[in-house]
Structure 1
């Protein structure tokens, strides 16, 4: 508990403020997704639809590591307050956007602030609590994400129906102010007054490296071909800036990301498993609702239920993990989490339309259990194995790996779906005497258009999407096997508290 003066710090009130701030950032993803059809209807600019999410993700990814390092240099409180203020400014501006271009720009500002919230909140909890307490409290924080996943769509739907979509963003302002005041008034930390050395070159190179990679993952195979000049230029930029970043971090006195962290087996294993589990989560979030609606033929509400169970299993298991790591240790708990992820991957491997949404929902719940057990174990073990001086950047690095995993998973699994779908549609085009394209299955999501299709075409499109999404589930199973294998190498914890 270095640098936190426990006698002055009111831990319950600070934790309450942190939970509110975490909830504000966590609910933003699901609540905006619910409102997007209305926002597009109001502002137009459908071509920018994906960038409303991508811009936020990009800036969150590139700033997470920077904020982690700054919190180690200047303390958690000022960096947390700065991040929340930027997030609130972005939220206010999003609410007054009059064009989709403006909304994307303001989402960039929001993302710059969001990069601080999750890692700094998690780091402050690591500072305030002992090793025994840490695991339990991290479980509570995981519950925030589960609750926000359930409440997000409901709150979004309520706001769209009864108020105005701008309040999707403006509702953050009172929550953020409460979070700021709670931390400013009740968190007391001691930060050394020695001269701070900031790695400006490393920060700039990391910004360029991560930005170019994220844009490639978001745009590749969608807006631009994988061998287009834009993608090739960005990949070249990524490789060169990554080499320069590593060179800079080796030579500088105060590196933005201490490379010795990667020499720590525990941190490396935890981060690799976090990367692959991030791919699993984005895969389910992106493709399971579509499968339930188009292939199984159920409503959006039923599709939401099958994903909602993941959000229920995660916080339950995260809370249990807090007790397990104290009773059986970090390594067995991590392997148990990997085992549940593997079981979930097997269940989705055997998913077919006849098994119905209950089977899909149960499979999601099992994956949620695996995520809760593993993610809590990883973050707490990382915080326990490093000192206060690098706890911020070590925590942020783990958060960053999940963001990269999500972007990587969306790109890879999206590519798998499109490739398999294209193969099946080309094969079946001759059967119906017409050209079936990748966009053809879109009509399955439109009930009116769906009813105009002949039974033969409807069956072909549904079967094509079934095969395409099954290929995605095979990919998820392979990633789950890799994640489980990684957890086997997780070491027994030996380090600081």
Structure 2
């Protein structure tokens, strides 16, 4: 096993170790670092929330409504492929350098996405943006995990809760406002000044021990994992829409995905520094929260991507108002996440929360599956609060349990793996939900005597919808409502899997707060 070692050029000695093996740091030092981390988290969260509310206008302007899911899928697919690589690079060569590099790549992708002139360019530049985004959340979580013990982490979750609140309120509102009053291009440009601030703060405040490693990067494992993930997402995106499920294209993708992932598992068991150590999954809690995180990604991206379609095209909301109407879901998630974080810090107990969260999330999905053309905005908001509350029980806890299940030296790969499963869940969710939504909407339009796929349909926006004849508007209203119904009905059924998985969680004690378990391993990892 290749050994990591402190850079000989580092002039300052490593800090003394705390009771759980992490370098001891003053509360002021941690708070300063957290400011840099929360700004970066804001950068990542704002992007998804801003783009979600502007999506109907973007698709209508660039054309190609059938490519709606690809604008999101290209981003999440690239994020999923890059996530484990960023995490492993951070463990091997230092988290600060890889973190800063990922921010720069994200900003380049944002600038290019804002310059997009057609759907192909938008999809490509969103993919580049996603490559950088893969390192943002992983960097934030792994650096936080290296600085603060799991038991004490709840004290600092208030900072992350504040970011969630700002993104919840500011993201959809800002995205809708920019789309309505300026141009959707600016929803990408807005990332640039925020990213520059994040870079400055992180560079100045974050001081980690410099490390280097003689280990070789697991390029073959990374390539096989990327091919496997890409094949699976393409399979779910194209299956039943662009190609029949029994076509040679879909069967070929299925075979390629299976072969790549089997090969990946074979390689990871034989390399010195695996990209994703399979030994992590010997820990039952780690496996359980990975499954739950995957399903949370399904719910999160499904809600943000498809609810604005219903609010704008059926309920007649503007882009700004649909952004505001997403707030109940985010608010429910924020409040519950904050309360749960404080409780876990005080008691160290958390096992009941994933069980409650998966149940509430499932209930929220089934409630949203009842949406119809006559559903009021108020009732829609109530249903969204329930879904958001369910996710609030799960968002922080899944990452907390994943990090608590490994030694400090594997903090980056554990964080990236947990993030990877959530990201893949989002990618699969958008792809599958996109196929379900499109098929159900197409069937409804055909039943109303309309043929989906005309040029006017490809340029469908809330503004153009109002110019259509009353019968055409009614058909589209029912088509969108039926599509949303099917999306959330399937989301509720998938949530049942998360409920079953949560019952197998052991609930191992959280490290920290005076506990000294695993000190030797953590001390070795720190040096």
Q: Given the alignment, which residue of 231, 241, 244 partners 1:212?
A: 231
The answer on whether the counterparts of 2:63 and 2:459 sit within 8 Å (CA) in structure 1 is no
Q: Against the structure 1 CA distance between its residues 415 and 6, is the aligned structure 2 distance closer, same or farther, given a 3 Å change threshold?
A: same
Deviations 1:59-86 (A, max 9, x none): 1110001111111112211110111122
State whether structure 2 residue 490 is matched by structure 1 residue 470: no
Q: Given the alignment, which residue of 281, 285, 288 partners 1:269?
A: 288
Q: Against the structure 1 CA distance between its residues 478 and 8, is the aligned structure 2 distance closer, same or farther, given a 3 Å change threshold?
A: closer
**What residue in structure 2 maps to residue 453 of structure 1?**
469
Q: Given the alignment, which residue of 479, 482, 489 partners 2:494?
A: 479
Shift of 1:310: 0.8
Moved more, 487-496 or 6-15: 6-15
**What residue in structure 1 maps to residue 523 of structure 2?**
none
- In the alignment, the residues of structure 1 paired with residue 434 and residue 57 of structure 2 have an alpha-carbon distance, to the nearest angstrom, of 25
Say what the alpha-carbon RMSD is for the aligned residues. Answer: 3.4
The answer on whether the counterparts of 2:65 and 2:460 sit within 8 Å (CA) in structure 1 is no
Q: How does 1:185-196 map to 2 (within 5 A)?
A: 185-193=204-212, 195-196=214-215
**What residue in structure 2 maps to residue 107 of structure 1?**
126
Q: Given the alignment, which residue of 100, 117, 125 partners 1:81?
A: 100
The answer on whether the counterparts of 1:30 and 1:152 sit within 8 Å (CA) in structure 2 is yes
Shift of 1:401: 1.0
State whether structure 2 residue 415 is matched by structure 1 residue 399: no
- In the alignment, the residues of structure 2 paired with residue 419 and residue 38 of structure 1 have an alpha-carbon distance, to the nearest angstrom, of 21
Q: Given the alignment, which residue of 385, 394, 404 partners 1:374?
A: 394
Moved more, 385-394 or 299-308: 299-308
Q: Against the structure 1 CA distance between its residues 61 and 139, is the aligned structure 2 distance closer, same or farther, given a 3 Å change threshold?
A: farther
Secondary structure in structure 2 of the residue aligned to 1:10: helix
Shift of 1:268: 0.8
**What residue in structure 2 maps to residue 409 of structure 1?**
429
Shift of 1:37: 6.6
The answer on whether the counterparts of 2:301 and 2:429 sit within 8 Å (CA) in structure 1 is yes
**What residue in structure 1 maps to residue 12 of structure 2?**
none
- In the alignment, the residues of structure 1 paired with residue 351 and residue 323 of structure 2 have an alpha-carbon distance, to the nearest angstrom, of 33
Shift of 1:273: 1.0
State whether structure 2 residue 363 is matched by structure 1 residue 343: yes
- In the alignment, the residues of structure 2 paired with residue 26 and residue 205 of structure 1 have an alpha-carbon distance, to the nearest angstrom, of 29
Secondary structure in structure 2 of the residue aligned to 1:86: helix
Q: Given the alignment, which residue of 246, 254, 263 partners 1:244?
A: 263
Shift of 1:228: 4.0
The answer on whether the counterparts of 2:179 and 2:319 sit within 8 Å (CA) in structure 1 is no
**What residue in structure 1 maps to residue 11 of structure 2?**
none
State whether structure 2 residue 406 is matched by structure 1 residue 390: no
Secondary structure in structure 2 of the residue aligned to 1:130: coil
- In the alignment, the residues of structure 2 paired with residue 195 and residue 454 of structure 1 have an alpha-carbon distance, to the nearest angstrom, of 68
Shift of 1:340: 2.2
Secondary structure in structure 1 of the residue aligned to 2:351: helix
**What residue in structure 2 maps to residue 53 of structure 1?**
72
The answer on whether the counterparts of 1:218 and 1:407 sit within 8 Å (CA) in structure 2 is no
Q: How does 1:435-446 map to 2 (within 5 A)?
A: 437=452, 446=462
**What residue in structure 1 maps to residue 278 of structure 2?**
259
Deviations 1:31-52 (A, max 9, x none): 3345567767887788866544
- In the alignment, the residues of structure 1 paired with residue 293 and residue 227 of structure 2 have an alpha-carbon distance, to the nearest angstrom, of 23
**What residue in structure 1 maps to residue 152 of structure 2?**
133
- In the alignment, the residues of structure 2 paired with residue 470 and residue 39 of structure 1 have an alpha-carbon distance, to the nearest angstrom, of 24
- In the alignment, the residues of structure 1 paired with residue 452 and residue 119 of structure 2 have an alpha-carbon distance, to the nearest angstrom, of 28
Shift of 1:304: 3.8
State whether structure 2 residue 501 is matched by structure 1 residue 492: no
The answer on whether the counterparts of 1:5 and 1:190 sit within 8 Å (CA) in structure 2 is no
Larger RCO: Structure 1 or Structure 2 (Cα < 8 Å, ≥ 6 residues apart)?
Answer: 2
Shift of 1:354: 4.7
The count of corresponding residues between Structure 1 and Structure 2 is 491
Q: Against the structure 1 CA distance between its residues 289 and 134, is the aligned structure 2 distance closer, same or farther, given a 3 Å change threshold?
A: same
- In the alignment, the residues of structure 1 paired with residue 482 and residue 55 of structure 2 have an alpha-carbon distance, to the nearest angstrom, of 28
**What residue in structure 1 maps to residue 353 of structure 2?**
333
Secondary structure in structure 1 of the residue aligned to 2:217: coil
Shift of 1:238: 1.2
Q: Given the alignment, which residue of 111, 117, 120 partners 1:92?
A: 111
State whether structure 2 residue 281 is matched by structure 1 residue 281: no
**What residue in structure 1 maps to residue 37 of structure 2?**
18
- In the alignment, the residues of structure 1 paired with residue 218 and residue 159 of structure 2 have an alpha-carbon distance, to the nearest angstrom, of 34
**What residue in structure 2 maps to residue 170 of structure 1?**
189
Secondary structure in structure 2 of the residue aligned to 1:132: coil
Shift of 1:107: 2.9
- In the alignment, the residues of structure 1 paired with residue 315 and residue 25 of structure 2 have an alpha-carbon distance, to the nearest angstrom, of 54
Shift of 1:99: 5.7
Instruction: Provide structure 2 residue ranges, at least 5 long, that are not aligned to the other structure.
Output: 1-19, 513-527
Pick the structure with more helix per residue.
Answer: 1
Q: Against the structure 1 CA distance between its residues 264 and 160, is the aligned structure 2 distance closer, same or farther, given a 3 Å change threshold?
A: same
Deviations 1:345-390 (A, max 9, x none): 3433544555522121111112111111112111112212211111
**What residue in structure 1 maps to residue 383 of structure 2?**
363
